[in-house]
Structure 1
Amino acid sequence: MKLIIKLLCGIIVGILLGMVAPDLIIRGLITAKVFISQLIKFTIPLLILFYVTSGIANLPRNSGKLLGKTVGLAYLSTLGAGLFAFTVAENLFPALLSGAGDMPEVKTVLAPFIELKIPPLMNIMTALTIAFMFGLGISSTGADQLKRMSDQGRDIIELFLNKVIIPALPFYIAGVFADMTVKGTVFATLHTFSLVLLAVIAMHWFWLAVQFITAGAVMQQSPLTLLRTMMPAYLTAIGTMSSAATIPVTLQQTKRNGVSNTIANFVVPLCANIHMSGSVISIASVAVAVIIMTGAGAVPSLIEALPFIAMLGVTMVAAPGAPGGAVMASVGLLGSMLGFTEEMIALQIVLHLAQDSFGTACNVTGDGVIALMIDKLSDKQEEEQEDLVPVEDAI
């Protein structure tokens, strides 16, 4: 919540400075914005490389079918959530945000004092390919040194995010909004924020309803009872804004829904890293809103956006536990696959972080559904094995 308050302060300070401050100060803010933007773009491939490598390498090696079922079900839920959100946003937002893309004529354009270029070491797809290659290789061969290196690299990137990038975001946002104020486009953008945020939270709850109604039908239990049991995890996640930090509560409430200790202890910590349905709903729908708000061309069709949504689900694997980790991991895909500009990425970050706690809450509450489904599948498999009695035992 402190981060959200800081970002809101960044928006307010940026607008006020853009209205009354001399060009010298505004150019200083714009210079800071450009430098922080370069740092973000440089960090994203490294974030994907180390986090995805470490996340895959740390998956349990001897879990067999249980691991495959959990990962498969979590990815299907994340992918389905992304497709649902994009479809709703594609059809709802053009009418909801009617006129948002009709920006007024730009008044003034101020340049930064200096544009420092920090080229990334690799592009997003290269980082993702290397991460999968080494992650699967480490998991298969048990290469301890490489695993340790990927874990240490992940820890360093997380430290850099927590100590540099995240604290710098308010200054980045202030620079963006000061620039937009000078250009005369800021108020045409801001009035649509509340509508987008409410729509995104409504999508979270609709997706949770679909998940729990499905689980209730499979388990032959009341969906409302199952959901009510998971509500402490939902409320905790709103406060922590972190799936990892909410694991103890998620685990406790999942067991209270009747999931066995073995399944819950395996599925919940794993899904805290790989099941990101709420985050993907937020990113996919906000991306559509940003395209409309900035008048950056036509919104892609669902077929055109499918590769982006599919890759987004993969990129969410082991997204940082820090607030904002999901959107930071998605920045590279937004730029490379949807053609987002620096201003569009800034709006994406602001809109996402404003509701990040609700996206995280949707993630962890859905983890309870995944655990219920896996527990049911495991019980069914055990029953089938018991039915296959050897002939000599039957005799």
Structure 2
Amino acid sequence: MGTIVIDRFSRLRARPARFLALVALPLLAGCSSDVLNPAGYIAQQQRDIILISTALMLLIIVPVLVLTVAFAWRYRASNKDATYDPHFDHSTALELVIWSAPLLIIIALGALTWWSTHLLDPFRPIEQASATEKVAPNAKTLRIEVVSLDWKWLFIYPDQGIATVNELALPVGVPVRFDMTSTNMMNTFDVPTLAGMIYTMPGMRSQLHAILNRPVETIGFSGNYSGAGFSDMVFKVHGVPAADFQRWVGRVKASPLPLSDSNFAKLVRPSEKVKPIYFSSVAPDLFRRVYERCVEPGKPCMSDMMRHDQAGGGGNPRDMRSGGGMPAGRDTDAIFGTKPKGALQKSPEEKGSSPHLTTPRGSEPPGATNPGSNSNRNMTFNDPRYSPASAGEPVNV
């Protein structure tokens, strides 16, 4: 009787596990396999590198796992036929096998990494449409300017004169060059079926070249946490034939909404779960002004400030180093308005006091917040022409 009860209890415990497995099957069926089944030639090569690297590492992992079980079975306590040698401590032949095999695999992985790093350089223009087909010499590259915002993606098509939010369309078989930047936070542009993950950073321009081999409907997203709306920072990707791409461009051009500077100022404001938006026109030179931080009227561009620096920045090197003589607006790096001053830029008086402040108030020099303060005398200048003893006055050397 006891055996029957135990058997029934075991069956009852097994039922929830079977039920969960059945429930999980439809969920697994919906999983995306973009990484292992890519539609872009760059992503295909990256997939091959993953598979080759995994196979090389398994050459060590599998034999180790098999030998672990084999040794445990061979030299078990009940096996009286196995050799027992408690004084064994070294075998030259065994050491050669143990160290040479991993070393050869590391060399192979290093060579593969070096080769693929140069071959798949995101700044390198596309030369192959597939493993067997080259890009036509007269093929025109599609340019797309990508801007990551809080928390959405802006795509500008400069040659077509249109822009979209959270929707990207690409013609199959056409080389594409992405120029990327960010308005505020660092993000990563990632379309797994197309190419690798590339960072977008404020004040900088990164680049990615890619090409699609077949039509595809998928998504792209950010792989770098950037705040509250990060989880929904997803955009649609349409890989379509060239004729369908032109029809899509026509639909975007039919939108009554222009991407003017004023509309961009509204777009920059943080927002979450943004549905696709079409812009039929784009303000002149908008992308360059975004990454040079000068969209707001009257704010100097980074290139203007660099030219000003090269021209002397007002004459006095010390003034130039502390920002003196720079155009108005140099001290802010926000696209529109100003950003709160960071703690490293604040003086002790501005910081106030709180339990987490470990340095006594008033013991630190104000630094960049007050370049002329006498408290800065105990700081060492990087420029050898300046001596701390002379409070920053030039010294002839």
TM-score (norm 1): 0.21
TM-score by length of structure 2 reads 0.21
Q: Which has the higher helix share?
A: 1
Q: Which has the higher contact order (CA 8 A, sep 6+)?
A: 1
More strand per residue: 2
**Which protein shows a greater Rg?**
2
